[in-house]
Amino acid sequence: MLRYVVSRLGLSVVMALLATLVIFLIANTVPGDPVLAQLGDVAASNKEFVAAWRAKYGLDLPLWERYFVFLKGLVHGDLGISIASQRPVLDDIEQFAPATLELASVGFLLALVVGIPLGIIAAVRRDSWIDHLARLVSLVGVSSPTFWLAFIMLALFYGGLQVAPGPGRLDPIAFPPPTVTGLYLVDTALAGDWAAFRDALAHLILPSLVLAAATLGLLTRTTRASMLESMQQDYVRMARAKGLSEWRVILGHVLPNALIPVVTLGGLAYANLLTGAVMTETVFSWPGLGRYTFTSAAALDFPAIMGITLIVAVTYLVINLLIDISYALMDPRVVR
Amino acid sequence: MTATAARPALAAASVPLPASRRRRWLRRYGLASLGAAIILAWILVALLAPLILPYLPDTVEVTKRLQPPEAAHWLGTDALGRDDLTRLLYGARISLSTGFIVVVVGAVFGTLLGGIAAYARGAVEELIMRATDLVLCFPPIILALAIAAALGIGTTNTIIAMLVVWWPKFARLARSLVLVQRSHEYVEAATVVGLTPARILLRHIIPNAIGPLVVLVTLDVGNAIITFAGLSFLGLGVVPPTPEWGSMVAEGRELVEQWWVAAFPGLAILTIVLGFNFLGDGIRDWLDPKARRR
């Protein structure tokens, strides 16, 4: 087991290093000249000034040397300076990450709480109306463009029916709670400010629903397929033959085994929620990493885009590592 | 593939069926047929757009800004007074063609690389598969976004950016499929006869392994359409004033009162992606009897 974990960990580190190389190559071999992008026309026409500027940012060094400079910066937690905000990219990311973490976690919870039971019922009552409904819900969930779904929800529940609060994490005139974790639900609760807690929760509902839609579809489908598969196993027939009640059989024997692929998919889905909030956050003016990604891309703020891509790739790798390890714990055959 | 799919469909069309058999046919092929019908309808509409529409997609009529849906403009007009229905139907051309291009080119590249990896084994396989893993360790939308931003805005650049992230899943699947085929006797026979490895791979192994790849391709056109629309929505896809669904939603994003500007293009994406998912789901059921819904 330990050997398996260590080898998976080693592989992840190698992949992370290679990921930095990919990021570096994209950032440094693009057709656009950073000089023109960052200096004005007048400054760019002055040759001496350009040379000095290139030297200042190390752009006159050969590519491989620049890569080592880049790596050295990374080791010291330096992802460069965002052109748009003029702050270190890492500071920006630290500021925006909690909002995304909160949104993605609530969305994931929603998808789990609805998707898994729906998948179980669909499998147990196979070909009934609820199975067909589950199939439709999951297909529509997977097929809806997130950015559009976000718009529709806002237009309908905020603009039209006026039952939901507007974009943002809190009422525009409310003060954010004192920052402890950056998660408003936790921070308002810690401060004992229950009105603000309710406000934060109300603002979370629509965006997390939107974010959960696709994941919910995937979870429902995977749970259903996996349940159907394990319902045909011999130990299930055995459990039935023993005379256990149908729900005992389903929940006690079928479900635990059926959940293994769901865990893998769930982990990946969570990673996707953390990183895939770009559209949702943009439409809901949610001040998280997703919206930061969007504003950086729109402004062609290269250091910021590269910083986010790297952070996100590392998050992905870590979650994948955790999935593999939990997989090995649940199913010892994996380790061999 | 198409031949086996067409046979039961033909039988169903020519012989009047008892109700129970018709129901079974519907259950088995209904969703996939519906999907295929939706896709065909969109393709037809995209092709015929200039013939069936009285407007052009970039005719600006300032006096007719943001008109709600009415007889002259079925889906209303946008902030520049352009007819939304016209832009929507012309937009189908961009979405469909980019979706197909990304998936087909990505699938060909991925299949070839995966096939070569599985057939060559050794260092070549290691190199190709590690490159695959490397691309897969980035979330696709973020990596595509970074590359598209680096290359600059434009349809071609966005397609290139998507292709960079698109091939690995095909490479993985193709590798596993070719590995299975490789152990079959017909490959041994072909080798003994003296065929070149390239010929064996292209003419013998890949045609035998193509079934699951076709499913992935079908399912994937929908994904590609959503992703391209998403990148356009973020401002990286098409250059305005090209009519494209994602950028149309972006243009209407702030217009909650004038909901039609953003609502219809998004609905168009939803229907076409649903079409591909219905079809892909149906094909998977035929190919995989274990998953078949009785």
Residue B38 lies in a domain: yes
Phi, then psi, of A88 in degrees rounded to 5? -60, 135
Residue B72 lies in a domain: no
Q: What is the ipTM of this complex?
A: 0.81
pLDDT at B13 over 60: no
Residue B181 lies in a domain: yes
Per residue, what are the HEC states of B57-92? CCCCCHHHCCCCCCCCCCCCECCCCCEHHHHHHHHH
pLDDT at A184 over 90: no
> CB distance B256–A158 less than 8 Å?
yes
Weakest-pLDDT range from A164-178, B1-15, B134-148, B275-289? B1-15
Residue B61 lies in a domain: no
CA distance A30 to chain B (A): 6
Residue B222 lies in a domain: yes
> CB distance A279–B233 less than 8 Å?
yes
What is the pLDDT, as a whole number, of residue B224?
A: 92
CA distance A124 to chain B (A): 13
Q: Give one DSSP letter per residue of B125-183, joined into a string.
A: HHHHHHHHHHHHTS-HHHHHHHHHHHH-SSHHHHHHHHHHHHHHHHHHHHHHHHHHHHT
On chain A, the residues whose CB falls within 8 A of the CB of B253 are 147, 151, 283
Predicted confidence (pLDDT) per residue in B258-281, tens digit: 788 888 899 999 999 999 988 887
Weakest-pLDDT range from A56-70, A110-124, B159-173? A56-70
Comparing CB atoms, the residue among A22, A151, A294 nearest residue B134 is A22
Q: How far is CA A251 from the centre of its chain?
A: 30
Nearest CA in chain B to A140: B274
Predicted confidence (pLDDT) per residue in A133-156, tens digit: 888 888 888 888 888 998 888 888
Phi, then psi, of A244 in degrees rounded to 5? -65, 150
On chain B, the residues whose CB falls within 8 A of the CB of A155 are 256, 259, 262-263
> CB distance A309–B229 less than 8 Å?
no
Contact B76/B250 with Cβ under 8 angstroms? no
Average pLDDT on A54-78 reads 77
Q: How far is CA B63 from the centre of its chain?
A: 38
Average pLDDT on A16-42 reads 70
Predicted confidence (pLDDT) per residue in B37-73, tens digit: 999 999 998 888 787 777 777 777 777 777 777 777 7
Which of B160, B128, B133 lies closest to B144 in space, CA to CA?
Answer: B160
On chain A, the residues whose CB falls within 8 A of the CB of B247 are none
Q: How many domains does chain B have?
A: 1
> CB distance B259–A155 less than 8 Å?
yes
> CB distance B146–A143 less than 8 Å?
no
What is the pLDDT, as a whole number, of residue A79?
A: 80
Comparing CB atoms, the residue among A19, A127, A139 nearest residue B274 is A139
Q: Which two tokens stand for residue B138?
A: 């980035």
Average pLDDT on A62-91 reads 81
What is the pLDDT, as a whole number, of residue B3?
A: 45
Long-range contacts from B20-29, C-beta under 8 angstroms, 24+ separation? B27/B293, B28/B285, B28/B286, B28/B292, B28/B293, B29/B282
Residue B17 lies in a domain: no
What is the pLDDT, as a whole number, of residue A336?
A: 52
Structural domain harbouring B196: 27-52+78-293
Size of interface A-B (CB pairs under 8 A): 138
Q: Give me the CATH number covering residue B287.
A: 1.10.3720.10
Residue B242 lies in a domain: yes
> CB distance B150–A32 less than 8 Å?
yes
On chain A, the residues whose CB falls within 8 A of the CB of B263 are 148, 151-152, 155
CA distances from A166 to A105, A109, A158, B20, B257 (A): 20, 22, 6, 51, 14
Nearest CA in chain A to B292: A225
Residue B114 lies in a domain: yes
> CB distance A151–B252 less than 8 Å?
yes
CA distance B140 to chain A (A): 9
Q: How far apart (Å, rounded) are the C-alpha atoms in residues B235 and B229?
A: 10
pTM over 0.95: no
